[in-house]
């Protein structure tokens, strides 16, 4: 009887699965904001290879150790080891979680799936444009194919699927029609306060450290990897067609092999002295603060967090029309949309940099735009989602309430 009373007053236990719940992981950083924000109401255990907990340690972490690479092995090992870790944890606690959430198809039996990609659609419609070669190309195909299989299995069993963008909602329901009545959109968050450029920030020391001219115009490109899909090649080709030698490209992210591949392309295009590869950085903010423009002519994204981070840093963007970005970017106001070819990218860059007054207005507009995407509304949307899913699961329902369609008005 005493144990029953204790359980009745306990927070609902939720198990959350994601390979890497850290600040520098695109999907994992969103999961991190979610679990830390919900820890006041729910007893949350994160199962992952890495986790950036807060100082209070309010969220439990069960480590699922994974090999550092290649990517497809990490996914395979996680699918194998995560259920075992959960079973062991349940045995220790003596009770199962009331709800299981997993990113993509990383835990097949999850009640809530949180996809940040549609691998099946990507293979069908975008893979043909992938320019990676050799083993890198093979590894990426295996990764996408494996995730296409697991995402479908997870979607079939999930009570709710939460997408970061309305664009991905459309793509997922077109690819998996059975999701129509149990999918919703919660836009990704950005830590607006953290990414805001500090008053009086002086970029000159960083530019000097990177051997970039103090009076130059800096175009920033940032990505963890997959430079080909994200359009770095197009940006370098565009740079080669810009006569103003003060315009430089700052590339943040990438592994050694990919950096070498695109450094060779820069040499081939004759722009080696105008491109700096900063490599992986745990804190991208100073590099954004030092930039005049952020450029991402990607072929496929579902809600590129780095674009929102650039805007929060007061950096307007030149970008292709991507899922998520279309929901908050306004052409000529806080961003410039371009076709995915080097001529269009070059023309936009030259045009934007030619008018300092307009560029300054775009900086202000960019910062104001993303203020609506701070973590507070994101957490509250997830709170409602969790409550409704728990209620639906208890009542044996599987449909998704319309209240979790969380549109954000596209106003500047």
Q: pLDDT tens digit string along 184-197?
A: 999 999 989 999 99
Shared domain for 270 and 178, answered yes or no, is no
Shared domain for 209 and 303, answered yes or no, is yes
Q: Does residue 411 lie in a domain region?
A: no
Q: Which domain holds residue 254?
A: 192-372
Shared domain for 173 and 197, answered yes or no, is no
Give the chain's residues under pLDDT 70. 1-9, 397-412
Q: What is the pLDDT of residue 392?
A: 85
3-state class percentages of the chain: helix first, strand second, coil last, to nearest 5: 50, 15, 35
Shared domain for 264 and 364, answered yes or no, is yes
Q: Does residue 271 lie in a domain region?
A: yes
Shared domain for 245 and 357, answered yes or no, is yes
Q: Does residue 297 lie in a domain region?
A: yes
Contact yes or no for 283/194 (Cβ under 8 A): no
Q: Does residue 52 lie in a domain region?
A: yes
For 270-291, write each residue's pLDDT tens digit.
Answer: 999 999 999 999 999 999 999 9
CATH number at residue 215: 3.40.50.2000
Q: Does residue 341 lie in a domain region?
A: yes
Please confirm whether the linkage preceding 353 is cis (ω < 30° from 0). no
Shared domain for 81 and 173, answered yes or no, is yes
Shared domain for 234 and 379, answered yes or no, is no
Q: What is the pLDDT of residue 128?
A: 84
Domain total of the chain:
2
Q: What letter would DSSP give residue 275?
A: E
Q: What is the pLDDT of residue 151?
A: 97
pTM: 0.82
Shared domain for 319 and 365, answered yes or no, is yes
Spell out a b/e string for 188-213, using b for 16 or more CB atoms within 10 Å of the CB, else e. Answer: bbbbbeebbbeeeeebeebbeebebe
Shared domain for 292 and 362, answered yes or no, is yes
Q: Does residue 412 lie in a domain region?
A: no
């Amino acid at each position: 009887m005493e144990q029953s009373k204790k359980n009745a007053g306990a927070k609902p236990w939720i198990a959350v699965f994601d390979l890497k719940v850290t600040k520098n992981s695109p999907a994992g950083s969103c999961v991190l904001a979610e679990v830390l924000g919900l820890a006041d109401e729910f007893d949350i255990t994160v199962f992952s290879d890495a986790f950036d907990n807060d100082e209070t340690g309010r969220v439990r972490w069960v480590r699922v150790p994974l090999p550092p690479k290649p990517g497809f092995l990490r996914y395979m090992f996680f699918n194998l080891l995560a259920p075992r870790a959960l079973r062991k944890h349940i045995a220790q606690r003596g009770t199962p979680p009331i709800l299981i959430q997993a990113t993509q198809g990383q835990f097949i039996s999850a009640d809530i799936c949180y996809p940040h990609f549609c691998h099946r659609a990507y293979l069908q419609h975008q893979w043909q444009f992938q320019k990676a070669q050799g083993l890198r190309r093979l590894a990426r195909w295996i990764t996408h194919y494996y995730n296409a299989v697991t995402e479908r299995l997870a979607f079939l069993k999930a009570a709710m699927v939460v997408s970061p963008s309305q664009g991905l909602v459309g793509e997922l329901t077109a690819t998996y029609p059975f999701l129509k009545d149990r999918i919703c959109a919660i836009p990704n968050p950005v830590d607006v306060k953290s990414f805001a450029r500090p008053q009086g920030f002086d970029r000159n020391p960083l530019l000097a450290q990177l051997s970039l001219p103090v009076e130059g115009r800096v175009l920033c490109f940032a990505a963890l990897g997959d430079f080909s899909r994200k359009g770095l090649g197009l940006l370098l080709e565009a740079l080669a067609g810009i006569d103003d030698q003060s315009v430089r490209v700052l590339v943040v992210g990438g592994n050694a092999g990919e950096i070498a591949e695109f450094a060779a392309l820069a040499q081939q295009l004759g722009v080696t002295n105008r491109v700096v590869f900063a490599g992986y950085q745990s804190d991208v903010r100073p590099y954004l603060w030092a930039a005049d423009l952020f450029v991402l002519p990607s072929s496929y994204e579902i809600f590129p967090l780095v674009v929102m981070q650039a805007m929060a840093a007061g950096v307007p963007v030149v970008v292709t029309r991507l899922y998520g970005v279309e929901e908050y970017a306004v052409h000529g106001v806080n961003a410039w949309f371009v076709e995915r070819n080097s001529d269009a990218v070059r023309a936009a860059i030259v045009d934007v940099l030619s008018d300092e007054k307009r560029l300054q207005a775009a900086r202000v507009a960019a910062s104001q735009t993303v203020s609506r995407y701070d973590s507070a509304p994101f957490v509250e949307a997830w709170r409602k989602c969790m409550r409704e899913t728990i209620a639906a699961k208890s009542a044996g329902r599987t449909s998704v309430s319309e209240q979790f369609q969380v549109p954000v008005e596209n106003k500047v």
